[in-house]
Amino acid sequence: MSDGVQEMRTDVAHGARIYDYILGGKDNYAVDRAAAEASQQVWPALPVHMRANREFMHRAGRFLATECGVDQFLDIGTGIPTSPNLHEVVQEVKRDARIVYTDNDPIVLAHARALMSRTGQGATAYVDADLRDPDTILGSREFRETLDPDRPIGLMLIAVVHFIEDDEEALDVVRRIVDVLPPGSYVAATIATDDYAPELLAEVRRAYREHGETLKFRDHGTALRFFDGLEVLDPGLVQMHKWRPDDLASPQVPEADIAMYAAIARKP
C-alpha cells in the first residue's frame, strides 16, 4: 500500500518489472528476470500471454473511445511505460482525452514523465498509489483536477487484481472505486485464471512467490464477481485474446497459452 513514494525494493520481484522484462524492456532487476525465467521454464507461453494482455488493453482503449465515446480514463496498475501507452491509443481517437495513471512501483514513478506526454489536446497525470488504497487514488489532486467526476470514466484494471490474494479484499477495493464512478462509466479488466492450465500455472505461481511477488488465479465465476451490478458487454467474460480480436483470421492461440479472462462492462 502506498502512502507516498515507495521504497525501491530490488530484493523482491515486482509484477510491473517482470512484465517489462518479458516484453523486452530494460527497467527490471535480477530478481525480476529470475522470476520471469523460472516462470517461462514451466510455462513457455508466458510471453504470448503477456503480449495478449497488452493487445487487449489497446483494443479496450480504442473501443471505449471509439464506440462508447469515453474521453477520460483511470488506469490503475499502469506498469512501466511501453509505447503505445493508453493515452497514445485513446488520443488518436479523442484528441482531448484525459488520463490518470496509477501504480505503486518507484520505477514506474521514475518513468512517469513518459506518461505525461500528450498526443492531442488532452491531459495526463500520474498518482503514486496502490490499488489497495482507493481513497488515496480518488482523493488525489491529480484525479480531482484531471477527470470530471460528473462525466463517464473508463476504469482500466489490466493485469492488476491478481496481486491481491484475498478474494473479498480484491472485490471490495474494486467495488469502492466503481461506486464513485458516475453512471455511464465503463470498467475494462483482465483477471488471472488457471482454468485452462492449472498444473502449469501452479508452478508459475510458485515461481512468483519464491521471488517475492503475489499471484492469485481465479475461476470464471469468481472473476465475474468483479462486474457485479454492471452490464457486461458482448462477448461477456472470455479469455482475453477472444475479446473482439482485431483480426479474426489470425492464427489461433491455444487456450492453455492464455491465463486471463477479460471483459468490459458499463455502469448503469
pLDDT tens digits, residue range 38-75? Answer: 888 889 999 999 999 999 999 999 999 999 999 999 99
The answer to whether the CB of 193 falls within 8 A of the CB of 218 is yes
pLDDT of res. 213: 85
| Dihedral sign (CA 21, 127, 74, 83) | negative
User: 206 phi and psi, to 5 degrees?
Assistant: -60, -45
pLDDT band at 4 (very low <50, low <70, confident <90, very high): very low
The one-letter code for the residue type at 238 is V
**91-108 pLDDT tens trace:** 999 999 999 999 987 778
**CA pair distance 26, 7, nearest whole angstrom:** 20
- Which domains occur in the chain, in start order? 15-266 (3.40.50.150)
Task: Specify the pTM.
Answer: 0.89
**6-38 pLDDT tens trace:** 456 677 887 778 878 887 888 788 988 988 898
CA torsion, ordered 162, 164, 169, 174, to nearest 10 deg: -50
Q: What is the pLDDT averaged over residues 106-116?
A: 73
